[in-house]
Amino acid sequence: MSEIKYPYGHQSIDEDDVKAVIAALKSEWLTTGPAVDEFENTVADYIGARHAVAYCNGTAALHGAMHAAGVAPGDLVLVPSLTFAATGNSAIFCGGRPIFADISPDTLCMSSESAEAAIASAKSRVRVIAPVSFAGYPADIEAFRQLSRKCGAALIEDGAHALGASRADRMVGSEADMTELSFHPVKHITTAEGGMVLTDSDEYATRLRMFRNHGIARQPMKIGREYDGPWDNDMIGLGYNYRLPDICCALGTSQMKRLDLFVARRREIASLYRKLFADEPGVTLPPDCPGHSYHLFVIQVNAAIRRAVFEFLRESGIGVQLHYVPLHLHSFYRRNFGTKEGDCPVTEAYSARAMSLPMYAGLSDDGVAYAADKVKEAIAKFSR
């Protein structure tokens, strides 16, 4: 395989980021220190949420959100099949059972109609509805809020792709009961690994903070018995060590200073791709909207030639990727939950045609043009 010149995603690190990390390394705190609070407050203020709780990665953040929502054995959690494994897995970690809804071809996010049908056919309580703002397109949160109220479920938005995205004048992260973010290197900002849950609920925030710290409560948190002194703590329930170190948080706070620039550049790249593919009938472009933050730029091509196009692009140094193999078709879900082909036909048809092109703030216009030219060349070559 040729060397990948243009990966599908890549971090952007500058000297200010390096200085911030060095300062954290030289400080008195490498973990559970003031850099954690600073990062959480920075993101909460940007989003417009009351609370932000940092986790060691996005999967841990989703696990924490499912726990805070009270997911327990026998509970159902509604997720789209077009998502990374963590969305469904986080429900299973709590003993819940994922049920799958299909996507809308107009948004590539979970269809509210499919979600409503899945809820209507559910044989036990739906504890959580978990829409994904796929690729940075802000899912229709109001439709899912109405569904959540109707069935008494918590609304957890998987916003791992959508930092910096917005709906009208509201940022993604400010509207659901809880919203999860990811800070993996291919996302809008990075903390190397890292995640976060945003919420306006004091109760959820308390549960989230205890869960990431072994289930232990300390003052000023409410402990489960009479307070015995400044040393006191109480393990209220079972939790995990899901803390995000100060070193990572220092990087995140530094990166947040450039988030608006990162998102603006991603939107410029998306606009350029759209212009370059405007006259290419073999390419289906992704949905667009004013608040899209473009974690991914996903195109669709003829399923009969997708593999050939994909391999041609890889050989040309373009790090295309598939987001995603439908979650309900993974072996684990087939084996344990009886899911099968045909359960989510729109997702399945999309996945057979899709590929993610390079999309990151440091991508040059020349890189965008090269990727687009190679896609066109491949389609012409394999469509004969």
DSSP secondary-structure letter at 138? -
pLDDT at 224: 67
pLDDT at 223: 65
Chain centre distance of CA 362: 20
- Please give the Cα distance from 87 to 358 (Å, whole number): 24
pLDDT at 342: 98
| Nearest one of 112, 58, 50 to 90, comparing CA atoms | 58
pLDDT at 124: 86
Cβ neighbours for 87, distance < 8 A, ≥ 6 positions apart: 62, 79, 80, 98, 130, 132, 158, 327
H/E segment holding residue 163: none
Question: Virtual CA dihedral for 359, 104, 120, 172, nearest 10 degrees?
Answer: 40
Query: Helices H, strands E: what count in the chain?
Result: 13, 15
Q: In what order do the strands lie in the sheet with 97-101?
A: 51-55, 195-199, 178-182, 154-158, 126-129, 76-80, 97-101
Chain position carrying tokens 């809804």: 101
Calculate helix-pair angle for 365-382, 306-315, nearest 10 degrees.
140
pLDDT at 228: 80
pLDDT at 173: 98
H/E segment holding residue 373: helix 365-382
pLDDT at 14: 98
Q: How far is CA 311 from CA 178, 284, 350, in A?
A: 39, 19, 18
- The tens digit of pLDDT for each residue in 35-87 reads 999 999 999 999 999 999 999 999 999 999 999 999 999 999 999 999 999 99
- Please give the Cα distance from 232 to 253 (Å, whole number): 31
pLDDT at 227: 76
- Please give the Cα distance from 381 to 201 (Å, whole number): 55
How long is the chain?
384
Which pTM was predicted?
Answer: 0.96
What domains, with CATH codes, occur in the chain?
15-256 (3.40.640.10), 259-382 (3.90.1150.10)
pLDDT at 176: 98
Greatest extent of the chain over all pairs of C-alpha atoms, in Å: 78
pLDDT at 229: 81
Taking only the tens of pLDDT, the chain with its 384 residues reads 579 999 999 999 999 999 999 999 999 999 999 999 999 999 999 999 999 999 999 999 999 999 999 999 999 999 999 999 999 999 999 999 999 999 999 999 999 999 999 999 998 889 999 999 999 999 999 999 999 999 999 999 999 999 999 999 999 999 999 999 999 999 999 999 999 999 999 999 999 999 999 999 876 566 667 778 888 888 989 999 999 999 999 999 999 999 999 999 999 999 999 999 999 999 999 999 999 999 999 999 999 999 999 999 999 999 999 999 999 999 999 999 999 999 999 999 999 999 999 999 999 999 999 999 999 999 999 997
H/E segment holding residue 150: helix 141-151
- Please give the Cα distance from 282 to 285 (Å, whole number): 10
